[in-house]
Copies of this chain bind each other. A is one copy, B any other.
Amino acid sequence: MSEPRIQTSSVAPEVLRRTREIVEPALRAAVAGLADERMRLIASYQMGWQDADGQPTDSGGKAIRPGLAVLSAQACGAAPGVGVPGAVAVELVHNFSLLHDDVMDRDVERRHRPTGWVVFGEAQVILAGNAMLTEAVRVLERDGAAGRRALPLLLDSTQLLISGQSQDLDLEGRWDVTLEDVLCMEAGKTAALLACSSAIGARAAGAPEAMVAGLSAYGQELGIAFQLVDDILGVVGDPATTGKSSSSDVRAGKRSAPIVAALRSGTPAGDRLAAMFADGPPDTDSDVQTATELVREAGGLDWAMTEADARLARAMTGLERLGLPNASAVADLVAVGRFIVGRDR
C-alpha cells in the first residue's frame, strides 16, 4: 500500500477520446437501428453527427457520461466492453432530455447550432426524444443479464431527471425558493444521470453493491459540483467557453444556487438584491451589473464555489475509500471528474 491508490497522471481529454472510440460504434448502431428515417435524422442531428440535410458533420459533445460508464466497469475489474451498453443508454437518455428540454425552455441554440425543434419542429422533436428514450431501454434489454442488472439504474435516474426538469420549470415562476429547493432540483436535473453513468458499468459487470453505490455517490457529488460551477458561470459569465453571455442568469431573473444563496444570505446586499428582483428581473445593463455585484457582495458566488469544492473533495475521498481493483481506471475516473468540474488545470 505504498503506492498512492489515486494516480494523477491521466489526462481527461485523452481518456474521453479513448472511451468515445470504444462506445461510438455501438451508439451509432443504436441510432441507426431506429426504424423511422425521420427519427434517425433528428437523433443523428442531436448527437452532432449530421446536419439538418443528413450530411455528415462532427459537432458532437464531450461524451462524458459514456466515458464514466465505461470507466466504472473497468474500475471494478471488468473489460471496457462490459460498460458499453450502459454507456450507449445513458448517452441516449442524456440527448433525449436535451432535445425535450430545449423545446420546453424555448432554447434556440446548443453547441453553436440551432436546437432540434428550431430545425425539425416541436412535434417531431418530441417524438424523436421519445424514440431515443425507448431505444436506450432496448439497448440494455438486448444485453442479456448485464443489461438486466443495469436497467433499474437507468429507469430510476430517468425518473429523477424528469422530476428535476419539472422542478426547474416550477422554480422559474416562484419567489419563495430555498437553497434546498435548488439543490434538490439540481440533484435530479444534473446529478442523477451522472450518478447513473458512474455506476451503470459497475452494475452491468456484477460488481458488489457497495462498489456500485459508492460509484453512484461519486457521480452524484460530481454532478452537483458541476452544476454549481455552471451556475457561477451563469452569473459571472464565460462566453468564450460556455457560449453564455455574461450575467445571463441574473438578466433572466433565474433562481440558480448562487442567486438564491445571495437572496437568502441575510446580508444587506442580499436584501437589496431581493428588493431589486421584487420588480422583476433587472432590465438595463446598469441594473444587471448592480445585481451581479450584489450577488457577489452577498456571498452567493463564494457559497457556490465553496460548496462545489466540498462536493468535489467528498467525491474524491469517497472514490479512494472504495478501494476499486483497477487503479489505472480509477485514475481516469478522477481525471474525468476534475475535468467535469473544471478543476483539471
Binding site for B on A (CB under 8 A): 34-36, 38-39, 100, 103-104, 122-124, 126-127, 129-131, 133-135, 137-138, 141, 148, 151-152, 155, 158-160, 162-163, 165-167, 169-170
Contacts and interface: CB of A to CB of B under 8 A. Distances in A.
A329 B141 CA distance: 31
Nearest to A137: B137
Contacts of A126: 100, 103-104, 126
Contacts of A137: 137, 151, 155
Nearest to A121: B169
Contacts of A160: 35
19 contacts: A34-B159, A35-B163, A36-B162, A36-B163, A36-B166, A36-B167, A39-B163, A100-B126, A104-B122, A127-B165, A129-B130, A130-B158, A131-B162, A134-B159, A135-B159, A138-B159, A141-B151, A141-B155, A148-B148
Contacts of A163: 35-36, 39, 131
Nearest to A134: B158
Nearest to A155: B138
A127 B166 contact: yes
Tallying the copies of this chain within the complex gives 2
Contact of A124 (B131, B134, B148, B166): B166
A137 to B, nearest CB: 5
B131 A134 contact: no
A152 B158 contact: no
B148 A134 contact: no
A259 to B, nearest CB: 22
B166 A39 contact: yes
A213 to B, nearest CB: 19
A170 B128 CA distance: 14
